[in-house]
Structure 1
Amino acid sequence: MQDTTSFLSTLQAALPTITTGLTLSLSLIVAIGAQNTYVLRQGLRREHVLAVVMVCALLDMALMTLGVSGLATTLGQHPRALNALALAGAAVVAWYGAMALRRALAPQALQAQLQGEPQSLRTTVLQVLGISLLNPHVYLDTVILVGAVGAKQAPDLQGWFLVGAGGASALWFVTLGFGARLLSPLFARPVAWRVLDLLVAAMMGHIAYGLWTQVTLA
């Protein structure tokens, strides 16, 4: 009973950090892009969906962990460099928010290609790895941006931050892959992406402001 109470107390204290990781991760991955389009396409085709979802989620988690742990170790003794990176992260987040707002003003429907012959599991995994790892934004989002925010957390809260960030990534890919048949009629309409991008822009603005104030008011 005491262990359970202690865990719940720790979880309650870490909830703001988990929420930060979750909202940041969702803000970065919820957008029309090559990776999301591929996951949705596989979900609509009902072809190797579990493998695709697992590869995307595990890859995100690995890169986020690398960013948080690497930046925390390298920059932990250099607060000025860490603050500079956090300010750069705030600028990048603000830019992403502006892009989301721009997309909301001129939304486009998501077109998932359903044609084509069935693919082998090996081909599918290689394709999703290529789409993910050859996209420079993946490293900017996970290693640099998420890493910068995660490294700013207290050492005992960095694991909780990754729980939120990695959990958001896994939740999104599971929802997109296995809920594709339900989501595709909705996101075939531009207005759905307009609402989604407006929410992304709002979350990005909130996170950018938080990073900026964390450094400038410290």
Structure 2
Amino acid sequence: MTSALLAGMGLGLSLIVAIGAQNAYVLHVGVRGRGLAAVVAVCIVSDVVLIVAGVAGLGAAVSGRPVLLETVKWAGVVVLAGYGLRSLWSARTSAGLVAGGDGAASVAAIVAGVLALTWLNPHVYLDTVLLLGSASTRYAGDRWWFALGACVASVLWFCLLGFGARRMAGVLGRPGVWRAINLGIGVLLLVLAMRLATMPLGG
């Protein structure tokens, strides 16, 4: 039980902590503050749903639907590229937040952004559903302890990232630092979009 729990936490953290589109978005929202609790909650709930689905065996069903994977893949490319270009524009104009650079975006719009970057990102399915789901089979009767460990890792990470960024908003929100963050995030998202576009998922 304990080994499965710790293994789930370890693998979960190793997959979640890597800087990606979702983490970049949470960082932006954390510095701005608006809609932060909702965004963190969406990330956690989404991860828990996907982890549970993967451990329950959804991975096999998803991997057997290449057309579905390809559809999500190209939708993800559009979303990543769009947010990447918007972030670069924010860096050029010294504006903030990938979605709603003037800080006037509604909480609903901010939440819609994180939903898009989470659920239209094939990497989420590959890592959370397929990889974690497959890894859980090593623990047979303790696989749900493994899933619990991965869920705990998700809760800890997103709370740390989002609310940690909020506490450091005084430093991260300075124009020069903010411009550098927007530039870095914009480049990262465009690179992820290009990598995703060339990644064979279906067929």
Q: TM-score, normalized by length of structure 1?
A: 0.57
How far apart are residue 73 of structure 1 and its match? 9.6
Equivalent pair of 1:71/1:151 in contact (CA under 8 Å): no
4+ residue segments displaced more than 2 Å? 71-74, 111-115, 181-186
Q: Which structure has the bigger radius of gyration?
A: 1
Query: C-alpha offsets along residues 51-79 of structure 1, whole Å, 9 cap, x if unaligned?
Result: 101111111111111111116999xxxxx
Task: Pick the aligned partner of 1:57 from 44, 50, 57.
Answer: 44
Q: 1:117 to 1:71 in 2, by over 3 A?
A: closer
For 1:132 and 1:71, locate their aligned partners in 2 and report how far apart those are by CA, in whole Å.
17
Q: Which amino acid aligns with 2:133?
A: G
For 1:70 and 1:176, locate their aligned partners in 2 and report how far apart those are by CA, in whole Å.
29
Equivalent pair of 2:136/2:147 in contact (CA under 8 Å): yes
Q: Find the counterpart in structure 2 of residue 46 from structure 1.
A: 33
Q: Equivalent residue of 1:153, what SS?
A: helix
Equivalent pair of 1:132/1:138 in contact (CA under 8 Å): yes
Please list, as runs of the form range in 1=range in 2, the aligned pairs for 1:80-119 lying within 5 A after superposition. Answer: 113-114=96-97, 115-119=101-105
For 2:125 and 2:46, locate their aligned partners in 1 and report how far apart those are by CA, in whole Å.
11
Please, which runs of 5 or more residues in structure 2 have no aligned partner?
A: 62-90, 181-203
Q: Find the counterpart in structure 1 of residue 165 from structure 2.
A: 180
Equivalent pair of 1:60/1:166 in contact (CA under 8 Å): yes
Please list, as runs of the form range in 1=range in 2, the aligned pairs for 1:161-180 lying within 5 A after superposition. Answer: 161-180=146-165
How far apart are residue 134 of structure 1 and its match? 1.0
**Aligned length in residues:** 139
Q: Find the counterpart in structure 2 of residue 194 from structure 1.
A: none
- 1:148 maps onto 2:134 in alignment: yes
How far apart are residue 113 of structure 1 and its match? 4.0
Q: Which amino acid aligns with 1:38?
A: Y
Q: TM-score, normalized by length of structure 2?
A: 0.61
What is the root-mean-square deviation of aligned Cα atoms in Å?
A: 2.7
Q: Equivalent residue of 2:44, what SS?
A: helix
Task: Pick the aligned partner of 1:138 from 91, 105, 124.
Answer: 124
Q: Equivalent residue of 1:154, what SS?
A: helix
For 2:146 and 2:19, locate their aligned partners in 1 and report how far apart those are by CA, in whole Å.
25
Please, which runs of 5 or more residues in structure 1 have no aligned partner?
A: 1-13, 75-110, 190-218
Q: Which amino acid aligns with 1:174?
A: C
